[in-house]
């Protein structure tokens, strides 16, 4: 067994249950917009603590929120240290992206640079990305600033499955949380996404947005629906998420932390879902970088973001993939 090789966050003890759910879908002849989609949304809502609506990918959830908050033609602040999906989706929605620097300790948006850029650009919205599987360390300050200044705050939670701060989960600080269940995520449905929000009107808008604006076509929309087979994967994954998080945390504490003192150090009260285990020393056994090049460089924006450049050069990821069969004792220990 190669312990460095990528392992999908699927627990093989769930095969039978997954196959039973797939049989249910086959039998009930409703392969989209059916009971499994609803059950996945309810399960995610239960875990996340907010109403939830599934989409075919993160992009569907993001575009629904960007349209709802009318970002077309408006300035939006976005960290440069993120996956290109974040600025590309903003651009696709017609927003004008201004990049913000990150911190070196958490790799996430810096409140100091965020505040400076907000005063300079007067943005309509900001996207906060929880990079690496932990919550952005300055989430509270950023959220408070956005509330005071009337800036829409959207959280890109694509890495944040399992993460919390004093029990509060990603996606619950801002106006919406945007999740991905793509193939590499801590739990995955192959492809998939979820929008969570405390605004019921946004959930209703997104429900129509993912379905061509039906029934009356008075709002924009295309097809961003999930199918029932994918939703079944989401149900079993969500049910296992706390266990997967506990297992990864046990491996981090027991094996990785002692070897890597120069790593991301989580503040008191924070739990990481360990999408990535990030260190600031070159590693012999590394799965590479979270991102090799900051987005402002990829997109040719002439803005000075020294920490984003520094992070791209100076971090590496140690392999930490969910393999319960290899370490079953940890499952019992983590319960």
Ligand X SMILES: Cc1ncc(COP(=O)(O)O)c(C=O)c1O
Does 57 engage in binding with ligand X (CB under 6 A)? yes
Contacts with ligand X by CB under 6 A: the residue count is 14
Least distance from ligand X to the Cβ atom of residue 40, Å: 15
Query: Residue 57 or 98: which CB sits closer to ligand X?
Result: 57
Does 59 engage in binding with ligand X (CB under 6 A)? yes
Q: Which residues pair with 315 in a beta bridge?
A: none
Does 291 engage in binding with ligand X (CB under 6 A)? no
Tell me the angle at which helices 228-251 and 35-48 cross, rounded to the nearest 10 degrees: 30
Q: Measured in Å, how far apart are the chain's first and last C-alpha atoms?
A: 26
| 166: nearest Cα among 265, 79, 268, 89 | 268
Query: Residue 56 or 245: which CB sits closer to ligand X?
Result: 56
Does 85 engage in binding with ligand X (CB under 6 A)? yes
Cβ neighbors of 166 (< 8 A, separation 6 or more) are 269, 270
Query: Residue 82 or 249: which CB sits closer to ligand X?
Result: 82
Least distance from ligand X to the Cβ atom of residue 86, Å: 5
Footprint of ligand X on residues 180-239 (CB under 6 A)?
180, 182, 193
Does 93 engage in binding with ligand X (CB under 6 A)? no
Which residue in the set 82, 172, 249, 307 belongs to the binding site for ligand X (CB under 6 A)?
Answer: 82
Residues in the chain: 335
User: Is the separation of the CB atoms in 98 and 117 below 8 Å?
Assistant: yes
Least distance from ligand X to the Cβ atom of residue 179, Å: 8
**Which ranges of 10-109 does DSSP label H, i.e. alpha helix?**
15-28, 35-48, 58-68, 85-92
Of the candidate spans 5-13, 81-89, 265-273, 281-289, the one that interacts with ligand X by CB under 6 A turns out to be 81-89
Nearest-5° Cα angle at 129, 89 to 140 = 135
Does 110 engage in binding with ligand X (CB under 6 A)? no
| 169: nearest Cα among 271, 94, 243, 39 | 271
Query: Residue 36 or 158: which CB sits closer to ligand X?
Result: 158
Query: Residue 161 or 248: which CB sits closer to ligand X?
Result: 161
User: Is the separation of the CB atoms in 127 and 78 below 8 Å?
Assistant: yes
Does 9 engage in binding with ligand X (CB under 6 A)? no
Least distance from ligand X to the Cβ atom of residue 39, Å: 20
Binding mask 141-180 for ligand X (x = CB under 6 A): ---------------x-xx--------------------x
Cβ neighbors of 284 (< 8 A, separation 6 or more) are none
Q: Which two tokens stand for residue 15?
A: 């095969």
Dist. CA 75–CA 318, nearest whole Å = 36
Residues binding ligand X (CB under 6 A): 57-59, 82-83, 85-86, 129, 156, 158-159, 180, 182, 193
């Amino acid at each position: 067994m190669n312990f460095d090789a990528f392992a999908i966050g699927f627990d093989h003890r769930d095969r039978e249950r997954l196959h039973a759910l797939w049989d249910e879908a086959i039998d009930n002849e409703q392969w989209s917009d059916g009971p499994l989609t609803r059950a996945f949304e309810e399960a995610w809502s239960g875990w996340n603590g907010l109403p939830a609506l599934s989409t075919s990918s993160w992009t569907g959830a993001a575009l629904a929120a960007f349209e709802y908050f009318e970002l077309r033609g408006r300035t939006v602040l976005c960290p440069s240290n993120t996956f290109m999906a974040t600025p590309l989706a903003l651009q696709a929605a017609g927003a004008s992206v201004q990049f913000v620097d990150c911190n070196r300790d958490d790799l996430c948006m810096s409140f100091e640079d965020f505040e400076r850029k907000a005063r300079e650009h007067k943005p309509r919205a900001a996207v906060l990305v929880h990079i690496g599987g932990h919550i952005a360390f300055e989430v509270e300050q950023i959220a408070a600033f956005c509330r005071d200044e009337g800036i829409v705050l959207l959280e890109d939670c694509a890495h944040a499955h399992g993460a919390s701060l004093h029990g509060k989960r990603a996606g619950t600080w801002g106006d919406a949380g945007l999740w991905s269940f793509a193939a590499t995520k801590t739990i995955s449905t192959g492809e998939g996404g979820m929008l969570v929000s405390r605004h019921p009107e946004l959930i209703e808008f997104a429900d129509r947005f993912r379905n061509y604006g039906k029934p009356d076509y008075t709002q924009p929309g295309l097809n961003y629906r999930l199918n029932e087979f994918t939703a079944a994967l989401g149900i079993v994954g969500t049910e296992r998420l706390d266990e997967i998080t506990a297992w990864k945390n046990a491996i981090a504490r027991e094996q990785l932390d002692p070897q890597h003192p120069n790593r991301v150090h989580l503040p008191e009260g924070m739990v990481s879902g360990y999408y990535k285990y990030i260190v600031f020393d070159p590693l012999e056994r590394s799965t590479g970088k979270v991102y090799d090049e900051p987005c402002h460089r990829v997109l040719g924006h002439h803005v000075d973001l020294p920490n984003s450049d520094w992070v791209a050069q100076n971090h590496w990821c140690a392999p930490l993939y969910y393999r319960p069969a290899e370490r079953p004792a940890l499952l019992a220990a983590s319960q």
